[in-house]
A and B are shown apart, each in its own frame.
Chain A
Amino acid sequence: MSYRVFQVSWDVALFAIAEVLLYLSYQQHDARFHWFLHFFVGTSAAMVVLTILTYGFNRTIPFSMLWLLLGHAMAMFPDILWNLQVLPHQPWMDVFLLHVSSHFTPGRNWTWYVIFMISLGLYLFARREMELRSDCSLHNREKIFERHGHHVVPEGTEEKS
């Protein structure tokens, strides 16, 4: 259990470090508004996909933080082209998670913040549902074992020979 917490914490820490670095890079270009915008859009999209996959496969999807980072990277890709001085923004760049038109959503970044929080809520709900369902199926299996006279030993408490 402690190993799992350690692992999850490192995922989150690496994600947080990567995002802070991206934020500082945007801040250096006086473009914090754009960091927030593409962070919200990209991670929201990633969390919606993660929610669907979690429900669909009924298990935790690994590397969830990497999914979020990739979602953000996709949403900000035209900014990378801009910073590398390759190409100014163009309407077709909406293929990168609405990179252009997402700027003009009514309510601007506060609207995207609300969408981000809803997406996070959905994903956390899916995670909890999945854990409840897996608990239920484990409980049922235990009952069947007990009905057939088998003794169920909780995981991790087996006697060592």
Chain B
Amino acid sequence: MEGRKHTAQPYVAIWLTVAIVVGSWLGFAEFQRNALSDPDQAWERTGMLLPPLTYEAPTSQLELRPGHRAILVFARTLNNRYVFHDLVDQSDLTRLADLIVVTPDGSRPLIEHGIRRFVTDHDGSLARQVGLRRPIDGGPPVGYVLVDSQAFVRFRTLDPGFGQRAWEIKLLLSGIP
């Protein structure tokens, strides 16, 4: 029987190794987060639409066109920037909905073609009205909001990488009237 004795040692070693490796990995990923991200990651890019007729958008401030969907892009500044990296996707998006760009400093991107309106949000009141949360660094939000043709907010998220999310926006718009 000598050779067949089972101690708990290997099992404890496996458990501790996994605990340390996976725990450190998770901690490192949390530490590396973008300062423009949502402090609560569960609310960032949920991929799920908000219920219809629930969150009204500030129609007058945004001058939303009745019967048209809108994409509100919130950025810190657009000086020397394109709104979206992929211009083909940008032109696709502007066919699907009115593209409205909101910045706190009133700056404009290099390519303005396809953008319906620029809105300045000095005090962050517009961001609050559409329900955008504050990022980790506490500054103005960076992300996007989707509004349906009845002027209700159907999706909102902080997203520092919004310039690469054209396909996500298109997918979400497919479920918004």
Contacts and interface: CB of A to CB of B under 8 A. Distances in A.
Interface in B124-177: 160-161, 167, 170-172, 174-175
Contacts of A113: 22-23, 26
A117 interface: yes
Interface residues of B, number: 34
B6 interface: yes
A109 interface: yes
B88 interface: no
A110 interface: yes
Given A113-B22, A113-B26, A125-B11, A131 B6 contact: yes
Interface string A90-114: 1100000000100110001110010
A interface residue count range (under 10 / 10 to 19 / 20 to 34 / 35 or more): 20 to 34
Contacts of B8: 128
Given A32-B29, A78-B47, A120-B15, 14 more contacts: A33-B29, A33-B41, A85-B170, A88-B175, A89-B48, A103-B46, A110-B26, A117-B15, A117-B18, A121-B15, A128-B6, A135-B1, A135-B5, A154-B3
12 contacts: A30-B160, A30-B161, A32-B29, A33-B29, A33-B44, A78-B47, A85-B171, A88-B171, A89-B48, A117-B18, A135-B1, A135-B4
